[in-house]
Chain A
Amino acid sequence: MDTNGLQPKSTARPAPLVAAATLLSSRNVYGLIWVDQSLYVTATYGPLVNFVDIGEPMTSSVPVFVGLESEILQLKESHGALLDLPIASIVTAAGATPKLNFTALWSFEEDAFLILVSRAGQVSNVELELSRQIRARLIAEAEVTHKSKALTKANIELERANRDLEEFASIVSHDLKAPMRQLRYMIEDLRSGAEGGDSAPLPIKTLKGLHDVQCQSQRMSEMLTSLLEYCSAGRKDEVAGIVDTEALVSAIVRSTPRPAGFSIQTTGLWPQIETLQAPLDLILRNLIDNAIKHHDSDQGSIRLACADAGDKLEIEIEDDGPGIDPRHHVAVFLPFRQINTGERAKIGHGMGLAFVKRWVEAAGGQIRLQSNPAEVRGTCVQITWPKLLIS
């Protein structure tokens, strides 16, 4: 048996313990290093510490103790004190030691420091794979946490930007209303002065120009009012309640003014749900009103349908009007956009569908258009209305 060094010095030790220690040493379970008071290695015991050079400073071969020299020297001052360095492997260009535990102590009997080196439990392939997977999971979790934080931050910034934009539009539209009103009054004064004979009559062309300016300023005032309403849409602190959608839609159909040639039918199942009544009412009224206003005939048919789709309602408002070219399906939902030309362009300010979209989305729903006049007349507006309101 290669003990590679010193034999135990004390004959007083029980033989079985020496035999056991010798056996453990030969099996690379532990090794011993003797270090003098200058921290030079004077002897080693056991093949586990073969990497240690005798006669050299301890820290040359056992660099885990670099920086801990004063701690080791202090061991001499307190009987029984230990310095433990658990689970370290020493790696040099020549190779790596196994994972080792190092324990330093002062041996009064031998007047030297003793470093007990013991082999740390070997890591099996299964443990290594487990460790690898745990680390991969930790990395993935950290990634998710980071991305979630970034998303939250982006959402907060987006909300703030939207709020700022809405406030800006609200302030601007509010502040512009007063000078617009002044402008209208001035034009009215000018016109009534000219028509009342207080001064020389104005040329017909000038009077017509004043009339046009008055109409346009009136239109701009109305647009500013719409913009103000649009900015506040979906922000009202209404409390959700139980709404009988069948009763709601019946009331809307009964009270909506329409030409004699127009019919409105309701089909499907309109259930009772907990929701905000006012926006749903406004949405349906606006869409029916739109279908009538933008129809190109005195006669028409509008169909309102509803289907219960679990946690949401699928609502359709379909007409047999001229339809909307797919090229305009996005633009029609933007504020102040009108796709009509000619006389029909003068109907409203192009805010109807913009309002509807805003209300639907504020409630957590979605809105889509189905229409392609090149193939078939009519427009179908599809609304997904959540039964559970988003906060």
Chain B
Amino acid sequence: MSARKVMLLGEIGVGKSSTVQRLVFNRFEFDYKPTIGVDVYRYEIPATAERAHTSLIVWDTDGNFGDTIFKHVYMKEAAAAMIIGDLSRPQTLETMVNLANGFRDALPGRHVSLLLNKSDLVRSPDAVEMPAGFDRLKIVPKFTSAKSGQNVETAFVEAAEAIERRGH
């Protein structure tokens, strides 16, 4: 069994904690509780014919870290980053671009997923204009909703598979 460290990154209030709680506990809390410091979650992805059993150690960080997170010991040996934005707040999508670039600079070659969260709050998620630089990341983002559970598990399973393929 291998444990892989996955960082949840994104601006304050984009739904990082809600996303990981949906993943681990399959629940959604309407009451907003800010994350203080770091919450470390363990999520087991069972083995299938195509993949080995993987433990994801998901680091839910305080959104206040901003870019300084990349210099923090927390980031050491992270295998992947799940970068989350709030589709209903365009500026959080701009932050996603900065975080993705920052993560790639800090840990080259590691997997990055982009999660466009709160898709349930937007009438036409596909029509939301992405900020400059988003396309250049060359990552197909996933529309997620921590509230409904849409794509949350899929995103983490795909990230685990990508980590497996990359070998780190």
Contacts and interface: CB of A to CB of B under 8 A. Distances in A.
Contact of A146 (B33, B77, B90): B90
A368 interface: no
B106 to A, nearest CB: 13
Give the interface size bracket for B toward A.
Answer: 20 to 34
B40 A120 contact: no
Nearest to A85: B73
A87 B37 contact: yes
Nearest to B79: A67
B45 interface: no
A86 B62 CA distance: 13
A67 B38 contact: no
Interface stretch (B5-13, B118-126, B143-151, B159-167): B5-13
Given A63-B3, A93-B25, A142 B91 contact: yes
Given A68-B73, A132-B34, A139-B89, A88 B13 contact: no
Interface string A46-85: 0000000000000110011011100100000000000111
Contacts of A90: 40, 42
B39 interface: yes
B76 interface: yes
B11 A142 contact: yes
A179 B41 CA distance: 79
Contacts of A87: 36-38
A93 B13 contact: no
A145 interface: yes
Contacts of A96: 39
* Most central of A60, A68, A89, A91 by chain B CB within 10 Å: A91
B5 A66 contact: yes
A86 B42 CA distance: 18
Nearest to B11: A142
Interface string A130-160: 0110011011001101100000000000000
A68 B74 CA distance: 9
27 contacts: A63-B42, A67-B5, A67-B79, A68-B76, A68-B77, A84-B73, A85-B73, A85-B74, A88-B38, A88-B39, A89-B39, A91-B41, A93-B25, A128-B34, A131-B34, A131-B36, A132-B33, A135-B12, A135-B13, A135-B34, A136-B13, A142-B91, A142-B92, A143-B89, A143-B91, A145-B91, A146-B89
Interface of B: 3-5, 11-13, 24-25, 32-34, 36-42, 55, 57, 63, 73-74, 76-79, 89-92, 94
3 interchain residue pairs of minimum CB distance? A67-B77, A87-B37, A146-B91
